[in-house]
């Protein structure tokens, strides 16, 4: 496998990969991981408080150093350090069980660092709030340069990511280079929607994705005729479902084909495949607002795209890593085969020749990022060179 495997279990290694692919520095990551290497030997769940303590320790140092930069008027340098502090805090928070001591405070500090980094670094991303039927959906809006109105891609989370990690995937920057803006959303069941409002996953993603389109239609710099939709990991359910049921989307793609996530849960109960986070069942109960296994299985029953993909009547791209250890590559073939009414359907499997073979390219996200950005440039009227 191509994943950097510092620890003896997949889930901890995945967190390291997320940090590396999101802008973390190898020296800082080694400094955080060396003291807890033995703690990982007890399995993915044991040792997660120690994981958080070490990652918070380095984040604290970065925040102190950023304050020193600010005192000298070095705002850009402070921004860079706060950016990494936010990343390390979010990775640490993601590894904790729901309700763990310090989790809420760590998340709040991560958001604060991210907001301060945005301001100090003059970074092109605006925090916005999109009204939903219940509550609201926080998002990051990145505008492409040049005259508008511009095409826009709505970019949604998976099961355990957040809009900040979406931004750090570099897809918004790749799209902006091609003349396309991006709206990274914390949809129900993720990020701020789950943590600050308690909004659970809605398998019928068109309910919240349509509200994102409504919001974009009110932005003078967005072209309402050129709005696309993509999602990462479990977003491979949400994005196709939204494009299937929201006719205003002009193009779609998924970064990882979660074609039948409900079936994947049966496999995970049989311990087939890898989990994405520690304390997995507690996490999905929380995300879906479930009280127990029966309740969770009932609430996730519609996390299945069979019988829905034929409703997609716009260009659609399915991507997947050939050696994905969480979600079988077979689901990508199923999703692609059911795009019978798309005028332009494409399947891209990332192989060892290029990289990006792990789940959503955790080993190398650059290939998926470039491929999706080029796809949307070609189907929404951007530039590819």
pLDDT of residue 42: 86
pLDDT of residue 213: 98
- Reported CATH class of domain 126-380: alpha beta
| Tens-level pLDDT at each residue, the chain (385 residues) | 578 999 999 999 999 999 999 999 999 999 999 999 999 888 889 899 999 999 999 999 999 999 999 999 999 999 999 999 999 999 999 999 999 999 999 999 999 999 999 999 999 999 999 999 999 999 999 999 998 899 999 999 999 999 999 999 999 999 999 999 999 999 999 999 999 999 999 999 999 999 999 999 999 999 999 999 999 999 999 999 999 999 999 999 999 999 999 999 999 999 999 999 999 999 999 999 999 999 999 999 999 999 999 999 999 999 999 999 999 999 999 999 999 999 999 999 999 999 999 999 999 999 999 999 999 999 999 999 9
pTM, to two decimals: 0.97
* SS3 state at 378: helix
pLDDT of residue 1: 53
- The CATH number assigned to the domain with range 10-121 reads 1.20.1440.110
Helices 103-121 & 75-94, crossing angle to 10 degrees?
150
53-61 contacts, C-beta under 8 A, 24 or more apart: 55/88, 55/89, 55/91, 55/92, 56/88, 56/89, 56/92, 56/102, 56/106, 57/32, 58/28, 58/31, 58/32, 58/88, 59/84, 59/85, 59/86, 59/88, 59/89, 59/92, 59/109, 59/113, 60/85
Closest CA relative to residue 194, chosen from 268, 121, 107? 107
Rounded to a whole number of angstroms, the distance between the first and last alpha carbons of the chain is 32
The CA distance from 68 to 62, in Å, is: 10
Query: Which residues are CB-neighbours of 196 under 8 A, at least 6 positions away?
Result: none
The CA distance from 108 to 216, in Å, is: 27
- Residue by residue, DSSP assigns 139-203 as EEEEPPSSSS-EEEEEEE--SS--HHHHHHTTHHHHHHHTT-EEEEE--TTSHHHHHTT-PPP-S
Domains of the chain, by residue range, sit at 10-121, 126-380
* SS3 state at 108: helix
pLDDT of residue 41: 87
The backbone torsions φ and ψ at residue 269, rounded to the nearest 5 degrees and listed phi first, read: -65, -25
The residue behind tokens 């920057």 is: 173
Tokens of 304: 């299945």
Closest CA relative to residue 165, chosen from 88, 104, 59? 88
Alpha-helical (H) ranges within the chain are: 10-21, 26-33, 48-71, 75-94, 103-121, 163-168, 171-177, 191-195, 206-217, 235-245, 261-269, 280-288, 293-299, 330-337, 366-380
């Amino acid at each position: 496998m191509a994943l950097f495997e510092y620890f003896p279990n997949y889930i901890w290694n995945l967190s390291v990969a997320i940090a590396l692919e999101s802008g973390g520095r190898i020296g800082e990551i080694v400094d955080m991981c060396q003291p807890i290497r033995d703690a990982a030997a007890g399995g993915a769940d044991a040792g997660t408080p120690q994981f958080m303590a070490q990652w918070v320790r380095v984040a604290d140092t970065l925040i102190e150093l950023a304050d020193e930069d600010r005192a000298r008027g070095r705002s850009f340098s402070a921004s860079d350090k706060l950016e990494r502090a936010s990343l390390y805090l979010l990775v640490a928070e993601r590894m904790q069980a729901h309700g763990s001591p310090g989790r809420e405070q760590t998340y709040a500090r991560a958001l604060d660092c991210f907001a301060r980094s945005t301001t100090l670094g003059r970074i092109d991303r605006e925090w916005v709030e999109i009204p939903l039927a219940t509550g609201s959906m926080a998002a990051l809006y990145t505008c492409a340069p040049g005259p508008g109105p511009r095409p826009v891609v709505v970019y949604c989370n998976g099961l355990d990511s957040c809009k900040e990690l979406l931004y750090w995937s570099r897809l918004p920057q790749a799209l902006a280079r091609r003349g396309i803006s991006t709206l990274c959303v914390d949809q129900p069941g993720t990020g701020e929607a789950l943590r600050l409002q308690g909004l659970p996953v809605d398998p019928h993603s068109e309910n919240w994705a349509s509200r994102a389109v409504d919001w974009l239609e009110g932005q003078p710099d967005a072209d309402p005729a050129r709005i696309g939709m993509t999602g990462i990991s479990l977003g491979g359910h949400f994005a196709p479902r939204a494009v299937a049921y929201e006719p205003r989307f002009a193009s779609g793609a998924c970064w990882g084909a979660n074609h039948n996530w409900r079936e994947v849960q049966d496999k995970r109960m049989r311990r087939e495949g890898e989990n994405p986070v520690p304390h997995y069942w507690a996490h999905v109960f929380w995300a879906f607002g479930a009280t127990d296994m029966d309740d969770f299985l009932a609430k996730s029953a519609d996390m299945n795209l069979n019988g829905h993909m034929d409703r997609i009547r716009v260009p659609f791209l399915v991507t997947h890593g050939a050696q994905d250890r969480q979600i079988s590559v077979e689901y990508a073939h199923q999703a692609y085969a059911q795009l019978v009414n798309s005028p332009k359907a494409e399947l891209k499997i990332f192989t060892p020749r290029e990289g990006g073979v792990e789940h959503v390219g955790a080993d190398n996200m650059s290939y998926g990022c470039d491929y999706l950005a080029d796809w949307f440039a070609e189907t929404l009227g951007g530039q590819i060179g």
